[in-house]
Amino acid sequence: MSLTVEDLTGGVMTEFQEKLRAQHEDSMHRELEALLGTASKAEAEISRKDFEGFKNLFHRFLQVKGPAVDWAKINRPPEESILPYEQIKMKGLPDDISASLNKLAVVKLNGGLGTSMGCTGPKSLISVRNENTFLDLTVQQIEHLNKTFNADVPLVLMNSFNTDEDTKKILQKYKHHRVNIHTFNQSRYPRINKESLLPIAKNMSTGGAERGGVGKEYIFVSNIDNLGATVDLFILQHLMSQPADRRCEFIMEVTDKTRADVKGGTLIQYEDHLRLLEIAQVPKNHVDEFKSVTKFKIFNTNNLWISLPAIKRLQDTNKLDLEIIVNPKTLDGGLNVIQLETAVGAAIKSFNNALGVNVPRSRFLPVKTSSDLLLVMSNLYSLDAGSLTMSRKREFPSTPHVKLGSSFTKVQQFLCRFESIPDMLELDHLTVSGDVTFGKNVSLKGTVIIIANHGDRIDIPAGAMLENKIVSGNLRILDH
Helix H, strand E, coil C: the string for 267-330 is: EEEECCEEEEECHHHCCHHHHHHHCCCCCCCEEEEEEEEEEHHHHHHHHHCCCCCCCCEEEEEE
The pLDDT value given to residue 2: 52
C-alpha Rg value of the chain to the nearest Å = 24
Which of the residue ranges 63-72, 232-241, 336-345, 378-387 would you say has the lowest mean pLDDT? 63-72
Amino acid at 422: P
- Return d(Cα 47, Cα 182) in angstroms, integer: 20
Q: In terms of pLDDT, which residue wins out, 237 or 14?
A: 237
Average pLDDT score over residue span 345-351: 93
What count of Cα atoms within 13 Å lies in the side-chain half-sphere of residue 289?
11
Q: In terms of pLDDT, which residue wins out, 385 or 1?
A: 385
DSSP-derived letter for residue 132 is E
pLDDT tens string 293-332: 888 899 999 999 999 999 999 988 988 878 888 888 888 7
- Return d(Cα 137, Cα 156) in angstroms, integer: 14
Q: CA 35 from chain center: how many Å?
A: 30
Conformational region of residue 334, where left means phi above 0, alpha means psi within -120 to 50, and beta covers everything else: left
For the chain, percent of residues with pLDDT exceeding 70: 92
Is the CB of residue 438 less than 8 Å from the CB of residue 422? yes
> For residue 4, is pLDDT > 80?
no
- Return d(Cα 367, Cα 347) in angstroms, integer: 25
- Return d(Cα 438, Cα 466) in angstroms, integer: 11
3-state secondary structure of 187: coil
CB atoms within 10 A of CB 245: 7
The pLDDT value given to residue 263: 84
The pLDDT value given to residue 242: 86
- Bridge partners for 274 per DSSP: 269
CA angle 257, 321, 64 (to 5 degrees): 90
User: Which residues of 1-149 form beta strands (DSSP E)?
Assistant: 74-75, 82-84, 104-110, 127-129, 132-133
In order of 134, 137, 146, 367, 406, the CA distances from 229 in angstroms are 11, 11, 17, 12, 28
- Bridge partners for 109 per DSSP: 158, 223
pLDDT tens string 282-292: 888 888 888 88
The pLDDT value given to residue 65: 56
Q: Where are the alpha helices (DSSP H) in 64-133?
A: 85-89, 97-101
DSSP-derived letter for residue 173 is G
- Return d(Cα 359, Cα 254) in angstroms, integer: 6
Q: Where are the alpha helices (DSSP H) in 326-380?
A: 370-377
Nearest by Cα to 1 from 14, 20, 28: 20
Which of the residue ranges 15-19, 83-87, 122-126, 367-371 would you say has the lowest mean pLDDT? 15-19
The pLDDT value given to residue 6: 52
The pLDDT value given to residue 293: 83
What count of Cα atoms within 13 Å lies in the side-chain half-sphere of residue 28?
25
- Return d(Cα 286, Cα 4) in angstroms, integer: 25
Is the CB of residue 389 less than 8 Å from the CB of residue 382? yes
The pLDDT value given to residue 300: 95
Q: In terms of pLDDT, which residue wins out, 49 or 432?
A: 432
User: Which residues of 174-272 form beta strands (DSSP E)?
Assistant: 181-185, 192-193, 218-223, 250-256, 266-270
> For residue 144, is pLDDT > 70?
yes
pLDDT tens string 69-100: 788 889 889 989 999 999 999 999 999 999 99
The pLDDT value given to residue 1: 47
For the chain, give the mean pLDDT: 88
Active site members: 368
> For residue 53, is pLDDT > 50?
yes
Q: Where are the alpha helices (DSSP H) in 326-386?
A: 370-377
**15-36 vs 41-63: helix crossing angle, rounded to 10:** 170
Average pLDDT score over residue span 8-36: 79
pLDDT tens string 159-217: 988 899 999 999 999 999 999 999 998 887 888 998 888 898 887 664 444 444 456 89
Q: Residue length, the chain?
A: 480
- Return d(Cα 101, Cα 228) in angstroms, integer: 19
- Return d(Cα 351, Cα 105) in angstroms, integer: 19
Is the whole-model pTM more than 0.85? yes
Amino acid at 368: K
What is the band of 3 on the pLDDT scale with cuts at 50, 70, 90? low
Residues 6+ apart with CB under 8 A from 135: 110, 124, 125, 167, 170, 224
The pLDDT value given to residue 417: 97
